[in-house]
C-alpha cells in the first residue's frame, strides 16, 4: 500500500461548511460492500435499510470547548498570539496540545490566556506534532467558559453560536472529545423512535475522539503510521447487550469509525465484549478481518486519512473510491457537516 492509494479529487465546493437542517435531512449513499452496488437515499430512510434484529452502537462522547487563543511570551523576548487545541490531559496539569502556528514556539515559552487566570509553559514536542504544556490551574473549567468549539480547519469560517449545538450529537453525554463523532450528527429523536419501533436495539459506548482521529498520515507506507491512542469506556450493560447480540447472530451496526475501532479493539483484546476502560490504538487498514462489526454508518472522509483507510478495509478500496467518485458527481456534501454513507 501507498498513501496515494487512498487519494481522490474533491472540488472545494463539495465541503460542507454548514450542517443540514434539520439534522436528518442529510443525503445517504447506501453501499453494498460485497457487490459494490450503491443506492442514493436520504438519512431519514435509515430504518428501511436496517433489520429488526440489528443492534445500533453509538458513541456518546461530548465535544469540549478545546480551542482557545493565547498570548505567547517568548523566553528569548517578544510576544505573539497562538491558537491552542488542548488535545489530551496526561496527568494533573500536564497536557498535550496542538499549536497554530507552531514553528516559532520553543520549550520554555510561556502562554497566557484571557486575563491570566490560566497560564502555561511549553515543554518539548512529542509524537504527532503535539507539544507538552504545563498549566497552572484547571483547564476544563476555564475552557468551559472561555474556549471555543474545535471546528475542523476545512470548514473555513468563524464559529457561530449555533455550532455549540450543531457540532454535538443529540445523545452526547460524557465530556472529553476534541472532535465530534460526525456520523452521529444526523440522528434526531424521531429517527431513534423509528428505529426502536422497528425492534432495533441501541447501545451506547464512549470513545473520546482525540488527535489520533484527525492527525494526518505522513508516511508513504500507511502501515508505518502509528495511531495515537484515544480513551474509551464500555459499561457492563453495553457489553452484555453486545455479547447477547453475537450469541444470537444479530448484526452489529457501528455509527462512525470511532465506534467501529472501539468495538473491534475491545473484541480483539477480550475475545468478547467486557466492561472495560482504556486507550484504543487499533489502526485498521485494508487486509484487516473484522471480528464483530457487520455494518457501518459513516460520513465521507478526507483523502489519505486513517478514516478512509478504515472504511476501505470494510468495503474494499475499489468499491469505496468508486462510491466516492459517484458521490462527488452527484454533489453529495463531504466531511464533518456533510452527508453520510451506510455500508452494509
Domains and CATH numbers, the chain: 3-63+163-343 (3.40.1780.10), 67-146 (2.40.10.240)
Enter the pTM of the model: 0.95
Per-residue CA distances from 342 to 30, 76, 323 (Å): 5, 53, 11
pLDDT for residue 77 is more than 90 = no
What pLDDT sits at residue 212?
A: 84
pLDDT for residue 104 is more than 90 = no
- What value, to the nearest 5°, has the Cα angle with vertex 10 and ends 7 and 11? 155
What pLDDT sits at residue 214?
A: 86
- Higher-pLDDT residue of 152, 127: 152
Largest pairwise CA distance in the chain:
66
44-56 residue pLDDT tens: 999 999 999 999 9
Task: Count the Cβ atoms, other than its own, within 10 Å of residue 25.
Answer: 14
Query: How would DSSP label each residue in 251-305?
Result: PEEEESHHHHHHHHHHHHHHSS--SEEEEE-----TT---SSEEEEEEE---TT-
What pLDDT sits at residue 128?
A: 83
- Local structure of residue 216 (DSSP, 8 states): P
Which runs of E-coded beta strand occur in the chain?
27-31, 38-42, 55-59, 61-63, 67-73, 79-91, 94-100, 110-113, 118-125, 131-135, 174-177, 201-207, 230-234, 252-255, 276-280, 293-299, 340-343
As a whole number, mean pLDDT of residues 220-246 equals: 96
How many Å apart are CA 320 and CA 27, to the nearest integer? Answer: 17
Amino acid at each position: 500500500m501507498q498513501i496515494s492509494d487512498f487519494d481522490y479529487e474533491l472540488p472545494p465546493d463539495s465541503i460542507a461548511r454548514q450542517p443540514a437542517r434539520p439534522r436528518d435531512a442529510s443525503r445517504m449513499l447506501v453501499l453494498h460492500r460485497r457487490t459494490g452496488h450503491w443506492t442514493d437515499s436520504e438519512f431519514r430512510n435509515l430504518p428501511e435499510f436496517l433489520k429488526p434484529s440489528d443492534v445500533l452502537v453509538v458513541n456518546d462522547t461530548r465535544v469540549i470547548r478545546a480551542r482557545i487563543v493565547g498570548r505567547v511570551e517568548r523566553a528569548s523576548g517578544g510576544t505573539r498570539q497562538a491558537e491552542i487545541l488542548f488535545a489530551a490531559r496526561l496527568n494533573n496539569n500536564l497536557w498535550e496540545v496542538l499549536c497554530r502556528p507552531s514553528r516559532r514556539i520553543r520549550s520554555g515559552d510561556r502562554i497566557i490566556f484571557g486575563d491570566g487566570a490560566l497560564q502555561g509553559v511549553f515543554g518539548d514536542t512529542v509524537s504527532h506534532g503535539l507539544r507538552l504544556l504545563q498549566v497552572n490551574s484547571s483547564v476544563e473549567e476555564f475552557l468551559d467558559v472561555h474556549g471555543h468549539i474545535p471546528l475542523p480547519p476545512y470548514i473555513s469560517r468563524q464559529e457561530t453560536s449555533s455550532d455549540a449545538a450543531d457540532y454535538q450529537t443529540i445523545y452526547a453525554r460524557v465530556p472529553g472529545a476534541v472532535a465530534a463523532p460526525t456520523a452521529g450528527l444526523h440522528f434526531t429523536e424521531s429517527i431513534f423512535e423509528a428505529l426502536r419501533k422497528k425492534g432495533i436495539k441501541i447501545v451506547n459506548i464512549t470513545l473520546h475522539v482525540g488527535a489520533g482521529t484527525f492527525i494526518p498520515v505522513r508516511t508513504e507506507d500507511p502501515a508505518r503510521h502509528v495511531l495515537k491512542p484515544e480513551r474509551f469506556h464500555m459499561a457492563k450493560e453495553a457489553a452484555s447487550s453486545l455479547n447477547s447480540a453475537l450469541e444470537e447472530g444479530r448484526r452489529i451496526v457501528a455509527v462512525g469509525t470511532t465506534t467501529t475501532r472501539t468495538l473491534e479493539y475491545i473484541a480483539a483484546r477480550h475475545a468478547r465484549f467486557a466492561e472495560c476502560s482504556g486507550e484504543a490504538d487499533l489502526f485498521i487498514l485494508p487486509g484487516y478481518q473484522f471480528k464483530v462489526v457487520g455494518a457501518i454508518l459513516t460520513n465521507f472522509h478526507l483523502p489519505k486519512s486513517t478514516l478512509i483507510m478504515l472504511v476501505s478495509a470494510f468495503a474494499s478500496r475499489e468499491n469505496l473510491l468508486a462510491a466516492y467518485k459517484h458521490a462527488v458527481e452527484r454533489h453529495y456534501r463531504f466531511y464533518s457537516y456533510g452527508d453520510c454513507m451506510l455500508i452494509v
